[in-house]
Amino acid sequence: MLEAIRRAMSFLRQKQILHKLGVVISVAVIGIACYVLYHMLRGIDFNEVLEAIKSTEPRQIAMAALFVAAGYFTLTFYDLFAVRAIGHSHVPYRVNALAAFTSYSIGHNVGASVFTGGAVRYRIYSAYGLNAIDVAKICFLAGLTFWLGNAAVLGLGISYHPEAAASIDQLPAWLNRTLAMMIIVALVAYVVWVWTQPRVVGRGPWTVVLPGGPLTLLQIAIGIVDLGFCALAMYVLVPDEPNLGFVVVAVIFVSATLLGFASHSPGGLGVFDAAMLVGLWQMDREELLGGMLLFRVLYYLSPFVISVILLTFREVIIGARSKRLQQAALKLDPGPAREAAYVRERSDSGA
């Protein structure tokens, strides 16, 4: 059966069917979101939205910012786990933290996070001897942690409160609970599968050894904690009345995040917002929009600005360090060093 699945996937890749299907899904999700937003935002008084933002207590914003910071701190363990899993334990945690924080915050805002985040990671990890294949493996394992966490949160959350998902997918509560139980069963089956013996995916240099059972449980725990902090940040910022409970907000938040991710739009812009407005229809729309805008500033805009500043400083420091090394080499052995510097200068200028 596994061999049949591999052959089917190989055929789909050769015919680029998966890529075309992904484009169709992205366009469809964005189109539906635009339609929903158009109808949801009609009649919105944006002055009331601004008033809702101004009336938000500083304590709420501070708590949300703290939860966002905790979420991004948890994200650093995605890379730490992935880098250790592929055998590069010489890379220090501070580098894992920088790569994770900058790649995710830039990928969230620019869109197509697989490529933008991968490019940022490669720029950072290549200084420690990792090549493009290593970075691709890191992206794969970090993504696996993300999806395992999402599956666990949605499976457990919808099983406990199936009505939360019904507001988005419009399915009966019993069907949502059944689907959630299927997700949990699939998650347990995957853990058992990797626990029984070592499992690998890919071929040749692209082969990745999947984490075993205990490490997979650790992956799931990291993903749950990350999503939990993000959901708490949103929960703090949404209107207090009606109080739907944290589980409801968390399920709708994760579902909206996944829809935004599927659309590949920067920050899930439009798609995430439409899903939140539909899912939390009981809340005052102006107040909900105000909370969502504050969340975007805290979770998307602020980390993006910080990431750009950090990467800029890093490039400046690397450039200054390289210049000092060249000057030291010139002092020690001016002839060959000057000739090498001249060759590098000619090469850089395109001469």
Quick check: 291 and 52 in contact, CB under 8 A?
A: yes
Q: How far is CA 78 from the centre of its chain?
A: 10
pLDDT of residue 21 exceeding 70, the answer is no
Mean pLDDT computed over 276-296: 87
Kindly report, residue by residue over 119-138, the tens digit of the pLDDT.
Answer: 889 889 988 889 889 999 99
Range 8-21 average pLDDT: 52
Element (H, E) at 187: helix 173-196
Q: Are 165 and 255 in contact (CB under 8 A)?
A: yes
pTM over 0.85: no
Average pLDDT taken over every residue of the chain: 81
Report the C-alpha gap between 319 and 306 in whole angstroms.
20
Q: Report the pLDDT value the prediction gives residue 38, as an integer from 0 to 100.
A: 57
Residues 164-178 have a mean pLDDT of 85
Q: Is the pLDDT of residue 217 over 80?
A: yes
Query: Between 113 and 96, whose confidence is greater?
Result: 96
- 128 is written with which tokens? 């420690």
CA 43 from centre of chain: 33
* Tokens linked to 63: 């708590």
Q: What is the pLDDT of residue 346?
A: 44
CA–CA dist 312, 90 (Å, integer): 24
The three-class DSSP label of residue 234 is: helix
What tokens does 235 get? 């929960």
Nearest to 36 by CA among 273, 285, 234: 273
